[in-house]
Amino acid sequence: MSAFDAFPLGQPAFVTNVLDRAAHLRRDDEKLFALEQKPSSRAYVVYRDSLLVKREGDKVRALLSIDEALKCGANPGTIFLGLRDGAAMFGMGMPQAAAEKLVGREDYTVTELRGMAMQGAIPPEELSAIAMAKSMVGWHQRHGYCANCGARSAMKEGGWKRECPTCKAEHFPRTDPVVIMHVASGEKCLLGRQKHFPPGMYSCLAGFVEAAETIEDAVRREILEESGIRCTDVQYYMTQPWPYPSSLMIGCSARAVSEDIVVDHSELEDARWFTREEAALMLTRTHPDGLAGPHPFAIAHHLLGRWVHDKS
């Protein structure tokens, strides 16, 4: 199965959740400690934007036993992700020194998560739990001190809360909402590219939802700011958790009411209108000019693919 086959239309990465989050166990420290000691318990180990995996022939395994994770230098503090078929799943971080010690080893390696997922090296059904582990580990690494008084805070409730021992403030993981939009004008759609994109790649425009802003307003504002295009008829499609570092991509469509593009070059390198036929070729990587659309790993591919196949 190719990486493209792994993410059929409507099923981008990180959306297939196979875990029971079992939130009722998060406050039971004794039970969680006992679960960590069970041979059936497993962990995903995260280092920055990468994942610790074990090489097994020409394949890799991301789901490790607790002993495997600790022997590779993972931090002992675990985040309880939930249960899968009755077995406890945890997320663990890894310090830089431990990751560096794995360089050159043949049995374990630290590999960039996005690349592995896009290549189909990790089963799609595992990606949601991995995204949870990555988001939570990253949150703890960035929020070790109380935002209220500055004292060192402590991990609580299986990693789903930090508590300040000084002022007793409680801190919880946050998710940043991001709108990502497919904009059409009749048989044309608007796509843009950023400087860091691979050569020839175009994708849907996107941006963060601001304070006290509706999703619809964010869609209209971001499209106008980045491309100068005014839009209406904003419709919701689907969401995709996006652990870079911890966002929720809110997929929408909109209808353009203007067509004169004015690119904000501080945000985009280029923005263009593409016909439905061109978009279809870009999605299959067969465009005669070498242009390409977003990878099926990302929700942008599915927004564009839905429009390509919707002839109504």
- For residue 312, the model assigns a pLDDT of 46
48 is written with which tokens?
A: 């920055």
Over its C-alpha atoms, the chain yields an Rg (Å, rounded) of: 21
Instruction: Tell me the pLDDT of the chain (312 aa) as tens digits.
Output: 566 788 999 999 999 999 999 999 999 999 999 999 999 999 999 999 999 999 999 999 999 999 999 999 999 888 999 999 999 999 999 999 999 999 999 999 999 999 999 999 999 999 999 999 999 999 999 999 999 999 999 999 999 999 999 999 999 999 999 999 999 999 999 999 999 999 999 999 999 999 999 999 999 999 999 999 999 999 999 999 999 999 999 999 999 999 999 999 999 999 999 999 999 999 999 999 999 999 999 999 999 999 999 864
176 SS3 class: strand
Task: Give dist(CA 82, CA 248) in Å, integer.
Answer: 20
Could you check whether the bond before residue 288 is cis, i.e. omega within 30 degrees of 0? no
Query: Domain boundaries in the chain?
Result: 23-136, 144-174, 176-309
23-136: which CATH number, 3.40.720, 3.90.79, 3.40.50, 2.30.170?
3.90.79
Nearest 10 degrees: Cα torsion 255, 259, 261, 267: 0
For the chain, where are the alpha helices, taking DSSP H only?
29-37, 66-71, 96-101, 113-118, 127-142, 215-227, 276-283, 299-309
- For residue 2, the model assigns a pLDDT of 66
Strand partners of residue 183: 190, 254
Which DSSP symbol is given to 25? Answer: G
Phi, psi of 218 (to 5 degrees): -65, -40
Task: Give dist(CA 17, CA 24) in Å, integer.
Answer: 18
175, 222, 256 from 215: Cα distances, Å: 15, 11, 17
End-to-end CA, the chain: 31
Count how many residues are written for the chain: 312
Distance of CA 278 to the CA centre of its chain: 27
- For residue 311, the model assigns a pLDDT of 63
Neighbours of 25 (CB within 10 A): 18
Which of 228, 242, 307, 272 shows the shortest CA–CA distance to 220?
228
Same fold, 23-136 and 176-309: yes
- For residue 211, the model assigns a pLDDT of 97
Question: What CATH number labels 176-309?
Answer: 3.90.79.10
Could you check whether the bond before residue 8 is cis, i.e. omega within 30 degrees of 0? no
172 is written with which tokens?
A: 């919880």
111 is written with which tokens?
A: 């590999």
184 is written with which tokens?
A: 């059409």
